[in-house]
Structure 1
Amino acid sequence: MSFLSAEAMTGGYGGADILCGCALAVERGEIAVIVGPNGAGKSTAMKAVFGMLALREGRVTLDGDDITRLKPQERVARGMGFVPQTRNVFTGMTVEENLEMGAYLRDDDPAETMAQVFALFPVLAEKRGQRAGELSGGQRQQVAVGRALMTRPSLLMLDEPTAGVSPKVMDELFDRILEIRATGIAVLMVEQNARQALEIADRGYVLVQGTNRHTDTGAALLADPDVRRSFLGG
């Protein structure tokens, strides 16, 4: 059993099922990337893993424990950190206050973790007293990722972390994600920049209509003619 294992996930938001037997897995120190066309159920799959969508069928396990019925805050306590695509920072709070919010479940001194976040994202150290709403889009994404890291997650979940940022900022964010993986944290992410994401992925999932269409290593998916033709522009 993988460190994170989501099996046969089936469910939706009250109408027709959006996920239809979707399966995902990621090990410690791995990056798993979910790609696919618009409306494929990528973000819905992330929400299901995090407990924001009740499954009609299927189960989710983390480090061998069944967490299918746990609420999102209970999953955070178990080691999940989730960064949504939008509304992922407190714009009226400073950078430092945003990071402190990430440690709200902890009963120890988070100073060491904050220092690690500042080492990973040096610009946040420079702007620690600035309101998050005054930052660029890429810097806000760094704040959002940093706040999730303040929970000391064993699994970091990122929903389209490079949406709306420049190619240069995207490359920088991917570099930081590789550094996070190197610490042993498992990373599960949805990404619209499929080709670039698969280049850094240990494993990839191509979803179509809530179902796994292709599952393989990132390198194998990049080399697959069908994947290249149908999802990567040739």
Structure 2
Amino acid sequence: MTLLQANNMRGGYGKADILQDCTITCDRGEVAVIVGPNGAGKSTAIKAIFGMMGLREGEVTFDGETINGLPPQARVEAGMGMVPQTNNVFPGMTVEENLQMGAFLREDGGAGVIDKVYELFPAVFEKRYQHAGELSGGQRQQVAVGRAMMTEPTLLILDEPTAGVSPIVMDELFDRILEIAKTGVAILMVEQNARQALEIADTGYVLVQGQNRFTDTGAALLADKEVRATFLGGDQS
């Protein structure tokens, strides 16, 4: 049974449908990446999956249960974690306080889990007593991912996790994302750095105007001449 099945999603903001019969799936231990041009509906798709936007058509099932209509907090309780692109840390709180905020649903307050986060992100451990607002962009992203991991999600949703970071930091973040996936967590990621993201993707979705234009393995999409020429800035040779 596939962990996440978001089938034939149609919806948007107001009366406009940004998603047009869009389907996204993701299974345990899998990295699924959504790429496409600006305005393609990438972030809208994950907002719909996380319950931040209603759907006019389509069904979202998670771990075998239909979750249409469930608010985001209920989806977190069901096993989803979400890292938004912006405003994803509390700058006036320390790194450790940020992580503890991620454990608000846990009766144990995240005891033991925080050590796993520190092991995954050593730089976060080193900065644990600093305010998050004092960190670099890449370090803040690590804190944001770590906070989402405090609930021990089975699905981690990431919206542009490498936006605004250097190539070296991007590679490090992708390495950590792969480590998380190896523990059995499903990763669903929207990414502007399409070529690099597809290199680590088990499954890739290319969206155009809210529709699935291409769906295949990351490797197959990277090898596709039309995908390279149109969406990855490459030639068709």
Could you tell me the TM-score, scaled by structure 2's length? 0.98
Q: Kindly state the Cα deviation for residue 109 of structure 1 after the two structures are TM-superposed.
A: 4.5
How many correspondences in the alignment?
234
SS at match of 2:13: coil
Report the Cα distance in structure 1 between the residues aligned to 2:125 and 2:214, rounded to whole angstroms: 41
TM-fit CA distance, 1:15: 2.5
Q: Within 2, Cα distance between the matches of 1:232 and 1:88?
A: 28
Alignment of 1:25-174 (within 5 A): 25-174=25-174
Residue 2 (structure 1) aligns with = 2
The sequence identity of aligned pairs, in percent, is 72
Counterparts of 1:207-222 in structure 2 under 5 Å? 207-222=207-222
**1:110 shift after superposition:** 1.5
Q: CA deviation at 1:16?
A: 1.3
Cα distance, 1:69 vs. partner?
1.1
- The alignment's TM-score, normalised by the length of structure 1, stands at 0.99
Moved over 3 A (4+): none
Structure 1 gaps of 5+ residues are none
AA at the equivalent of 1:63: D
CA distance in 2, matches of 1:97, 1:78: 24
Alpha carbon RMSD of aligned pairs, Å?
0.6
Separation in 2 of the partners of 1:99 and 1:70?
Answer: 25
**CA deviation digits over 1:137-170, x for unaligned, max 9?**
0000000000000011000000000000000000
Deviation for aligned residue 1:24:
0.2
C-alpha separation in 2, matches of 1:158 and 1:48: 13
Query: Secondary structure of the equivalent of 1:230?
Result: helix
Shift of 1:107: 0.7
Instruction: Report what 1:189 is aligned to.
Output: 189
Q: Aligned with 1:34: secondary structure?
A: strand
* Structure 2 unmatched ranges of 5 or more: none
Letter in 2 for 1:162: T
The 3-state SS of whatever aligns with 1:38 is coil
Amino acid at match of 2:229: R
